[in-house]
Amino acid sequence: MRSGVSTKPTSVSRGLRGVAVAETRIGDVRGQEGFYHYRQYDAVELAEKLSFEAVWHLVHQGDLPSATELGQFSRSVSSLRDVSGPLLEMLRFVASTVPSDRPLEALRAALSILVPMERHRPWIDLLEADRQRAALRLCAVTPVIVASLYRLGSGREPVPPDPELGFAANYLWMLEGTRVAPDRVRALEQYLILTIDHGFNASTFTTRVITSTGADLGSAVIGAIGALSGPLHGGAPSRALEMVDHIGAADRIDAYIEAALSHGDRLMGFGHPVYRTEDPRSRMLRGVAEHLGGARVALAKQVEARALELLREHRPERQLHTNVEFYAALVMESVGLPPNLFTPTFVLSRMIGWTAHALEQMLDNQVIRPSAAYVGPEPHRTVPRAS
């Protein structure tokens, strides 16, 4: 329901907590219950049972696909992966210009060039069908950009996408150039399904704000990548892994965490703006990480258990739990991804959510234009003449 009424705000909700700024049918996060869904389906169950393409279809089209629809959808999105010709030359240029240890910035730079090369137009000028095509293309091409830049950055030729492979398998294929074991593919696929959408997080909000101006989709998702990059949002997983690395052994856990908390540092991978109970993504990813195994997983579980106890002692009034990023880091590492690809890999799945929100925003658009409460001194009524 729209309200065009503009009133002067009397109070500020810091961080917009508890303020609804849009209606959505894409999904919802229930922080007290530890539950979230995509289009009414429990997201964790979707990750347990379905393929990435099936959930992508659900989020974008609103329904789970039949077997025939899934086949058609998978073929159609895999045909949108092409980056040959001038686009490949552009990727070579980006890889030779942006330092190879900055893959998220390289992705942002490449998208900033791809969008005008592919003549994206302001969404206010497009029909819904054209907007959907633009959304599918960006979702399909982003993994190819990330993988190609990664290989070029380490002096190797890009591996072209394989149309026979699904989203997750193809991403690992393009990174490694060899067939990847099914359990690693499935672990990555489950992580990607779990992170497609998650309420009005900062990057989704950014997408909707930019889209609401009628701008092109590229502008919206490039802005969203900037929002996601911060450690208080999607930039946390490599830092969570660094923390486990720095701790190194079980007998050093308490000293490390106590020192961090007494310095006022935040433990990466803990706390959430919405969940006041365990993050269901973290619960599932803990299981996925355990299944993949490894010494680091065992240490991480000890770090997690002690961190939760010490956070409870440190902030008894807050309910701080493990968030998605802690085990996301371990899963991505076990799958074989280097830490600086963790956040770019998060972009691949969240691109589906961002673009779904952009499409939804345009169905009933009003420019998002909140207010700020001015708290400075009363304005001067005259400006002195220059002397």
Kindly state the helix (H) or strand (E) to which residue 164 belongs, with its residue range.
none
Give the active site residue among 53, 189, 304, 325.
325
271 forms part of the interface with ligand ACO (CB under 6 A): yes
- Which of 27, 218, 223, 269 lies at the binding interface for ligand ACO (CB under 6 A)? 269
Nearer to ligand ACO, 184 or 272 (CB): 272
Number of residues that bind ligand ACO (CB under 6 A): 21
- Which of 270, 327, 342, 354 lies at the binding interface for ligand ACO (CB under 6 A)? 270
State the nearest-atom distance from the C-beta of 261 to ligand ACO, in Å.
6
37 forms part of the interface with ligand ACO (CB under 6 A): no
Nearer to ligand ACO, 87 or 268 (CB): 268
Q: Following DSSP, what letter does each residue of 32-91 receive, concatenated?
A: TTTEEEETTEEHHHHHHHS-HHHHHHHHHHSSPPPHHHHHHHHHHHHTT----THHHHHH
Decide if 325 is catalytic.
yes
Q: In what order do the strands lie in the sheet with 27-30?
A: 27-30, 35-38, 41-42
- Which of 324, 330, 332, 348 lies at the binding interface for ligand ACO (CB under 6 A)? 324
Q: What 3-state DSSP class applies to 198? A: strand
- Which of 47, 146, 222, 268 lies at the binding interface for ligand ACO (CB under 6 A)? 268
Nearer to ligand ACO, 14 or 380 (CB): 14
232 forms part of the interface with ligand ACO (CB under 6 A): yes
Q: What is the helix, strand, coil percentage profile of the chain, to 5?
A: 60, 5, 35
Q: Which tokens in the block code for residue 13?
A: 């909700």
d(CA 363, CA 353) in angstroms, rounded, equals: 16
Give the active site residue among 57, 60, 120, 272.
272
Stretches 117-125, 157-165, 231-239, 329-337: which one binds ligand ACO (CB under 6 A)? 231-239
Decide if 278 is catalytic.
no
C-alpha distances out from residue 293 to 44, 159, 169, 190, 290, Å: 21, 29, 20, 16, 5
Contact assessment for residue 153 and residue 106, using Cβ atoms and an 8 Å cutoff: yes
Give residues with Cβ within 8 angstroms of 381, minimum separation 6.
Answer: none
- Which of 131, 272, 286, 321 lies at the binding interface for ligand ACO (CB under 6 A)? 272
259 forms part of the interface with ligand ACO (CB under 6 A): no
- Which of 31, 160, 226, 273 lies at the binding interface for ligand ACO (CB under 6 A)? 273
Sign, Cα dihedral of 346, 226, 282, 32 = negative
Give catalytic residues, as residue numbers: 272, 325
Contacts with ligand ACO by CB under 6 A lie at 15, 201, 231-234, 236, 266-273, 315, 318, 320, 323-325
